[in-house]
A and B are shown apart, each in its own frame.
Chain A
């Protein structure tokens, strides 16, 4: 049988339509397409794709089951290794992970592993009826700080082993970046809500509105009888560039912009939380966060949206699919450009003019790529005398985040590295006995799947630790 050289295409909403709504962009493989795509897999003996997946999902096995139309079976295979397949199938950077190692990818396009994973997970969510079985309690209590992918995974794995687990979340909704950062059009909130509901069915106690370090400290958690703590508090502290004009009205961190839209529901028609809509928007940065902010701005009604990134298309760190989608939707990519100053309105006649202090433009400089640095990335260098003005009404800074110091500052003996990341060993154990950590809080901003993987590793280690007690 001849090999089909290309992946089956993912059906998507038309670019012009979706650029103005918040519905999911990619609508998922229909059943027959999924089966056909699964049949492209060669079921390689040496399973290179499995090595490309940070949690080593048995990829050929689940794909074979899809080809055989045993969809629930496929889901079960995935769920041995991953607790959030409906999420990872949608947001994993497959092109640098599993799919980058696919044999088929040498000559043709790789198997659409992520798309098939999403299909199996969505199929399960639609058809599975049986509620999760509540395991017998083993009498041990564990506290989890943060309800992002690392925390949810750690909590789920421990609950399945009979631990009594409480998750403490600072915000009013559980899910971490999956609810406050990644927008509805890429990851519907209902999927995350379902994952959280499944955890609750397993007996996990999810307490929102508790800030560890403020409402309760880690030491107090131990005093209250928790025998181990997992810290999955993420990397939520936004960076700014430190250029003039960054405090003008209309300059947002990506976290603020996306939180206002997602968590605070400014994307719906009648929320109480305000956000700037319309006008021309520049998003600074080139990662997933930047793409999400740019496409959110467009959907909120912006007339023109720029991505301003200091390197070239090749270095753009965002998922390939998001970049393609963004381009189709009409986002204007200004590559090899860097902002040097943001300018604001000032009425010389009237200091009380309400327009004073609002963004009117951003001065940028062109960049060129120099020699590769230690990590092999070519360093951008400003081209002297190449400054120009971009006429914009709002600027969103999406240039990275760091771990929040709140927990470090309130937990004696918890060691962090120079970037604020909590230091852990290969089991996720921190410098404090019984305190484990993982996800972005350890690595700095990374990926959903790596955070989930870290939650799994820590759950295993916590189990081993408490079983000796």
Chain B
């Protein structure tokens, strides 16, 4: 069992927790993730390592409440325990040798992007961050990004805060104005990442996208997280949990990934409603 050491509500749908897991805390690098189960009958869900404190043996996670398991997780408090917590999984992001990088995050993807931006900043890379949210209420981690970015642009879809529009708008402007990046790193909804890749293509900037397919084991055993890449004109299958989650954006079949991501939509809606009803009854 793994103790929840602290809990902080970042916004109405995003929560941050620190979990006691010393082995993971010692090992995890930016870009890696963990898999947890809240209870004996629970689902295994992947969440990115949003920071570690190796001395205290804690791992930070930031999650958005989107369905049954994240709802159950959000009902846990500091001092409660998680049934399982395994990691670090996946390959750490490759950040060495980069002089100037643009980090593009969308929604809760910003939580996944943050440790990467921080690591880049810490190694002396010049970081330009573009973070986007649907509206002002959903904004998270602005201060954290401010602290680790040489330049920060905040966008909201509806214009309720900062600048209105998609993250691709300022990205295109910068690229068109001749700004150079060694790499664009994008993390967020699949549709957003697809458009980030499209925006970068005419300029030939390398794009790395962090993929979040549905996972179970996270060790390469089930193949459920597979995605199709096109490498040198040939289609190849890769497992996001062991080969990723970072992939070359230009090679990813985003349409297929979006379709696979919706496999259990009906089931998930039921599970979410069930979890919500359960907590309503309990209250």
Contact = CB atoms under 8 A, between A and B. Distances in A.
Interface of A: 170-172, 180, 208-211, 214-216, 236-238, 240, 242, 246-250, 252-253, 255-256, 259-260, 264-265, 268, 270-274, 354, 356-357, 404-406
B223 A255 contact: yes
A247 B221 contact: no
Contact of A238 (B87, B222, B265): B222
B268 interface: yes
Contact of B223 (A180, A211, A253): A253
Nearest to B88: A214
Contacts of B256: 247, 357
Contacts of A404: 219-221
Interface in B151-183: none
A214 B216 contact: no
Contacts of B227: 247
A209 B219 contact: no
Contacts of A209: 84-86
In terms of DSSP, what is the predominant structure of the interface of chain B? Answer: mixed
Contacts of A180: 221
B267 A274 contact: yes
B27 interface: yes
Contact of A211 (B43, B89, B226): B89
B222 A256 contact: yes
Contacts of B201: none
Q: Which of A180, A209, A242, A250 counts the most chain B CB atoms within 10 A?
A: A209
Contact of A265 (B41, B83, B271): B41
B29 to A, nearest CB: 11
Nearest to A237: B220
What 3 A-B pairs have minimum CB-CB distances, sorted nearest first? A357-B259, A274-B267, A256-B222
Q: How large is the interface on B (under 10, 10 to 19, 20 to 34, 35 or more residues)?
A: 35 or more
A214 B43 contact: no
Q: Which of A214, A215, A255, A272 has the most CB of B within 10 A?
A: A272
Contact of B271 (A208, A242, A274): A274
Contacts of A246: 237
A260 B216 contact: yes
18 contacts: A170-B86, A172-B44, A180-B221, A210-B86, A214-B27, A214-B88, A238-B223, A240-B223, A242-B237, A246-B237, A247-B256, A253-B222, A272-B69, A273-B43, A274-B268, A274-B271, A357-B262, A404-B220
Given A247-B228, A259-B222, A271-B41, A356 B27 contact: no
Contacts of B122: none
Given A249-B259, A249-B263, A256 B220 contact: no
A274 B262 CA distance: 12
B216 A259 contact: yes
B209 interface: no
B24 A215 contact: yes
B36 to A, nearest CB: 9
Contacts, number: 111
A170 B271 contact: no
Nearest to B89: A214
Contact of A272 (B226, B262, B271): B271
B263 A270 contact: no
- Label chain A's interface by main secondary structure: loop
Interface string B182-225: 00000000000000000000000000000000001101111110
Given A249-B260, A270-B41, A272-B271, 11 more contacts: A211-B219, A215-B86, A237-B221, A240-B226, A247-B227, A252-B224, A253-B223, A264-B44, A272-B42, A354-B266, A357-B256
B68 interface: yes
Contacts of B37: 172
Contacts of A274: 264, 267-268, 271
A273 B242 CA distance: 21
B1 to A, nearest CB: 10
Nearest to A409: B242
Contacts of A216: 23, 27
Given A171-B217, A247-B237, A255-B221, A215 B23 contact: yes
Contacts of A259: 216-217, 221-222
Contacts of B85: 209
A249 B218 CA distance: 19
Contact of A354 (B83, B84, B237, B265): B265
Contacts of A237: 220-221
A249 B85 CA distance: 28
Interface in B245-283: 256, 259-260, 262-268, 271
A424 B168 CA distance: 54
A250 B266 CA distance: 14
B260 to A, nearest CB: 6
Nearest to A268: B41
A240 B237 contact: yes
Most chain B beta-carbon neighbours within 10 Å: one of A210, A238, A260: A238
Contacts of A356: 259
A259 B43 CA distance: 12
A215 B49 CA distance: 13
Contacts of B226: 240, 247
B163 to A, nearest CB: 28
Nearest to B214: A274
A170 B219 CA distance: 8
Interface string B15-34: 00000000110010000000
A252 B89 CA distance: 22
B72 to A, nearest CB: 8
A216 B264 CA distance: 33
Contacts of A260: 216
Interface in B63-80: 68-69
Contacts of A253: 222-224
Nearest to A207: B23
